[in-house]
Amino acid sequence: MQVVNVSGLKNNPSEALRSARDDLVVVMNRDQPDAVLIGLQSGKLLGEPGARAALATALFRDGGLSLARAARLAQLPLSAFIAHVSRLGIAVVDQAADEAQQDLQTLDEWLASS
């Protein structure tokens, strides 16, 4: 286990990330442990069944990844990832009612002109 203080993490985050590839890194804040950095690739955590999909789902749900990037992280085709998050009740499209109504109106106009 390695230790880094908050100022060391702030000054050189790359070093802490490199260290986390090999071992746990404990981040100390005023002589108290505050966080732990874990390298996902080195610990083979992402190789565990369902780990990639779970991480990708959480990151997409919280806005950390786009739909396409989350699907890539989950190693799923986009359509399969959409089905996956939909089954979990996570909206794929986040749109206000007035925006959706405007889109439907535009679609109706386009269909009428075709």
In order of their start, the domains of the chain are 2-37 (3.40.1620.10), 48-114 (no CATH)
Predicted confidence at residue 28, as pLDDT, reads 93
Q: Measured between alpha carbons, how far is 110 from 106 in angstroms, rounded to an integer?
A: 6
Q: What is the mean pLDDT of residues 45-63?
A: 88
* CB contact set of 74 (below 8 Å; sequence gap of 6+): 52, 53, 55, 56, 57, 81, 84
Q: Indicate yes or no: pTM above 0.95.
A: no
pLDDT tens readout for residues 69-92: 999 999 999 999 999 999 999 989
Q: What is the mean pLDDT of residues 22-36?
A: 89
Question: What confidence category does residue 56 fall into, taking pLDDT thresholds of 50, 70 and 90?
Answer: very high
Predicted confidence at residue 71, as pLDDT, reads 96
